[in-house]
Structure 1
Amino acid sequence: MIELAIIIPAYKQEYFEKALNSICSQTNKNFNLYVGDDCSPYSLKEICNQFADRINLNYHRFEKNLGGKDLVAQWERCVNLAGDEKWIWLFSDDDLADSNCVEKFYEALSITSSFYDVYRFNTSIIDADDIFLAAARVSPKLENPMSLAINILKWKRGNSMPDHIFKKQKYNELGGFVNFIQGQASDWATSINFSYPKGLYTIEGPRVEWRRSGKNISSNAAKNKSRLIFGHLEFISWINNKFNNADQYIYGVKLSEIHIESKNNLAMVLKSHYKGIPWHKFIEIALIISKAFNEPLLKSFMFCFKINYVVFRSKY
């Protein structure tokens, strides 16, 4: 029985053939590949046909585009294409995987007796021309979910959906991915959520190459900043509600540290990426922060004001 489903929510064509080729080049081909065409204007089926005789490839075209409105909902309807496989690898239409990723995944399952609900690969960053830009910080082999949350808030982890393989049973138990506005930080929250309470296991060796092309959603985040900031605020609120007092004794991380690092993270995001948001938006932001951190509204408003006074004077 094939245990792994590799799923690609597809729309763009520019790097799609390269992405498929990296999957088809796996040294272990014990997987089924599912492609969910998000009503793309490009001929993705013709590209898929080039690989149909090399792997078990299942292509499905959706009649309505969904990813442009709700990225996470598009992920979920693509996951629904899968069969009886026990494991899901949600890949992308422009990233690349080293040829021994599947092989090392099955080795990790054997070593750990399939104990963990989430396995992941370390990542590298490449540009539009496949040129190596940087290697993301190497994650520890095993990390508990509370420590993972802290390190994500500190920008010490580069977790994204294409570098995760997760147990379908866990996905079903939790009702799918964590969905925030514009899919902002949904991959981070999902990584934490699925790895709770057992922890996350990082596979040593092979990497997923995440593409910074200037054409994907992450690369174009600044263009949608007035909505994306509220997606990030949803993540900040979620992460502060995820853990409880018992967790800090189990995992050795204080809840106060998550609170502090959440504010530090939010301050950095606002300063670096969201200059130009109008006054009324910052009032909304202060309201959300007040609720997330259970603090007086005035204190939250002053927090917003102090981190970047110039924001209040700039035009949207």
Structure 2
Amino acid sequence: MLGVIIPYFKLSFFEETLQSLENQTIQQFKVYIGDDASPESPLALLEKYKGKFNFVYHKFEENLGSISLTKQWERCIELSNNEEWLMILGDDDVMSPNAIETFYNNLTEIEEAKSNIVRYASQIIDENGNPVSEIYQHPKLENAADSFWRKYTWKTRSSLSEYIFRREVYSKFKFVNYPLAWHSDDLAWIKFSNFKNIYSINLAQIYVRESSLSISGKTDNFEQKKNASLQFYTTLSDKYLSIFRKEQRLVIIAILENEYFEKKEFSLLIKIVKWHLKHSDIYNLAKFFRRIYINR
């Protein structure tokens, strides 16, 4: 069974999300809606969808998403029962009508591949529901490092809503609390994969909305995103560089080298030296020291 988790806060596009759940060609799922103390009550809207699909609604008394978006995700997951598979669907995102059916149609192959993560094709839509990107499809089986690298090099996109993951790996790893949850999903797929392949379904899509109300669409949160990125790449370098190819490791380390030259923090210098010694070579470490000398 699949549990669809919706951390709710915005009413603006919520009906389109609910309509997409009603329109699923099979109803073999249960929806858990966790209201993050929103000032916009969805109760009247939810009344329209009673009996259309199986859902549970809970309003939290305190807003948590403004403090920690990942903690809001996690307390919404706690509303669910014991479904083996989980999906966190944004309150402004939309599923194609065949999304749930294609998941179950591929479940035997997913189990045979021992995949912990399933990913749909995705497309970005605007405030009016119009597509503003291509449909991003993926290799049927792909390791998490290659998947992230395609995103990093702008060959694909990735966000939270288009993924399904096993409860077992979620319970083991949870989400890392970065500012705005920026990159929290990227790190989750690396950890949740547990070094097994991500299984992709390209015959169904998740339509991910970018608007002035969404984190990705806002322009006043640059510093928070930058801080989250620094934390994320530091985590990658500390714990997961070994899963990347050498040329990829050098790019990740270079991101943090640039941060060092901006802030000149001694603790980051020590880490960069350690990462080069463990994951690079003396030649690239010497290049780093030469940059330090030139920029002294």
Given the two structures, how large is their TM-score scaled by the length of structure 2? 0.86
After superposition, the CA RMSD in angstroms is: 2.8
Alignment partner of 1:290 out of 243, 262, 269: 269
Give the C-alpha shift of residue 109 in structure 1: 0.8
Q: Does 1:11 align with 2:9?
A: yes
- Residue 103 to residue 86, structure 1, CA distance change in 2 (3 Å): same
Moved more, 43-52 or 100-109: 43-52
Give the C-alpha shift of residue 260 in structure 1: 2.4
- SS for the counterpart of 1:231 is helix
- Residue 242 to residue 136, structure 1, CA distance change in 2 (3 Å): farther
For residues 34 and 91 of structure 2, the distance between their equivalents in structure 1, rounded to whole angstroms, comes to: 10
- Residue 149 to residue 290, structure 1, CA distance change in 2 (3 Å): farther
Give the C-alpha shift of residue 234 in structure 1: 0.9
Alignment correspondent of 1:243:
240
- SS for the counterpart of 2:51 is coil
For residues 230 and 144 of structure 1, the distance between their equivalents in structure 2, rounded to whole angstroms, comes to: 27
- Residue 258 to residue 197, structure 1, CA distance change in 2 (3 Å): same
- SS for the counterpart of 2:106 is helix
- Residue 288 to residue 4, structure 1, CA distance change in 2 (3 Å): farther
- SS for the counterpart of 2:194 is coil
Q: How many residues align?
A: 282
Give the C-alpha shift of residue 122 in structure 1: 1.2
Unaligned runs of at least 5 residues, structure 2: 275-284
Q: Does the Cα contact within 8 Å between 1:213 and 1:219 map onto a contact in 2?
A: yes
Alignment correspondent of 1:214:
212
For residues 34 and 288 of structure 1, the distance between their equivalents in structure 2, rounded to whole angstroms, comes to: 43
Given the two structures, how large is their TM-score scaled by the length of structure 1? 0.81
Identity %: 28
For residues 18 and 62 of structure 2, the distance between their equivalents in structure 1, rounded to whole angstroms, comes to: 23
Following superposition of structure 1 onto structure 2, how do residues 1-316 of structure 1 map, counting pairs within 5 Å? 3-113=1-111, 115-174=114-173, 176-220=174-218, 222-243=219-240, 245=242, 247=243, 253-254=244-245, 256-262=246-252, 282-283=262-263, 290=269, 293-294=272-273
For residues 225 and 75 of structure 1, the distance between their equivalents in structure 2, rounded to whole angstroms, comes to: 22
- SS for the counterpart of 1:69 is coil
Q: Does the Cα contact within 8 Å between 1:126 and 1:133 map onto a contact in 2?
A: yes
For residues 67 and 38 of structure 2, the distance between their equivalents in structure 1, rounded to whole angstroms, comes to: 14
For residues 227 and 124 of structure 2, the distance between their equivalents in structure 1, rounded to whole angstroms, comes to: 26
- Runs of 4+ off more than 4 Å: 263-268, 286-289
- SS for the counterpart of 2:200 is strand
Q: Does the Cα contact within 8 Å between 1:28 and 1:102 map onto a contact in 2?
A: yes
